[in-house]
A and B are shown apart, each in its own frame.
Chain A
């Protein structure tokens, strides 16, 4: 299994920038996950529509499942 590098918040020292420590992207002070934004920006417009549609469909399924419990 591929291992992913992690940065433990408790062990990190002063950040080199607002969002990066040793090359690892961290959420900013406002909690925004820049990795998610960069991923979204890497998609084509059509892929973004497909992603948006998939998210909405999945959330609706979860909402309906919760309502049926």
Chain B
């Protein structure tokens, strides 16, 4: 049986409500800023502060995260220490696929990504940080895969089209 789609709002909300600090990157970040493209998982970069990773760990336990790679033959749950790794953790949770990344292709870790992010309001008292579209473009250029390069015209056109009063636009 294929994994379910990510409950995008559910994932963002459960981390937000637990007080976890994170930056949304990837396709969800792009879509929240107006890029009309589909995506099937949520990509987050966590603030690596110990207390923050502790909170994130509690959330991962609550939503029963396990590594997608070993499924369906084996259900392997991540260990707390792995949250401090700069690598990627490709997880499946009760809320669907979730990718936690320690760094991106440009070599940027959380602090660099945070500096290239801005806050958007999903609902009152529900704000999240998303990576700026310009930074997403730089990452896709750095990755350089065909599928990443193919969407660059779309991303760049959104930048050109976006107006100052767009709710998901950069500050």
* Residues in A neighbouring B12, C-beta threshold 8 A: 49
* Residues in A neighbouring B158, C-beta threshold 8 A: 37, 40-41
Cβ–Cβ contact A45 & B168, under 8 A: yes
Interface of A is mostly: helix
* A39-58, CB < 8 A from B: 39-41, 43-46, 48-53, 55-57
A24 within 8 Å of B (CB atoms)? no
Cβ–Cβ contact B39 & A56, under 8 A: yes
Cβ–Cβ contact A31 & B153, under 8 A: yes
* B1-17, CB < 8 A from A: 2, 4-9, 12
- Contact-residue size bin, chain B (C-beta under 8 Å from the other chain): 20 to 34
Our pick among A31, A48, A50 for the contact of B34 (Cβ within 8 Å) is: A48
Cβ–Cβ contact B36 & A46, under 8 A: no
Cβ–Cβ contact A52 & B161, under 8 A: no
Cβ–Cβ contact B40 & A60, under 8 A: yes
Known: A30-B153, A48-B168, A49-B8. A41 touches B163 (CB 8 A): yes
Known: A41-B162, A60-B40. A34 touches B157 (CB 8 A): yes
B171 within 8 Å of A (CB atoms)? no
B38 within 8 Å of A (CB atoms)? yes
**How far does the alpha carbon of A43 sit from the alpha carbon of B6 in the complex, in Å?**
21
**How far does the alpha carbon of A12 sit from the alpha carbon of B124 in the complex, in Å?**
47
* Residues in B neighbouring A7, C-beta threshold 8 A: none
A62 to B: closest C-beta gap in Å: 11
Cβ–Cβ contact A46 & B162, under 8 A: no
Known: A44-B167, A48-B31, A59-B38. A34 touches B120 (CB 8 A): no
Our pick among A40, A57, A67 for the contact of B35 (Cβ within 8 Å) is: A40
Interface residues of B (CB under 8 A from A): 2, 4-9, 12, 28, 31-32, 34-36, 38-40, 120-123, 153-154, 157-158, 161-163, 166-168
Nearest 6 CB-CB pairs, A to B? A30-B153, A55-B38, A41-B34, A40-B36, A32-B157, A56-B5
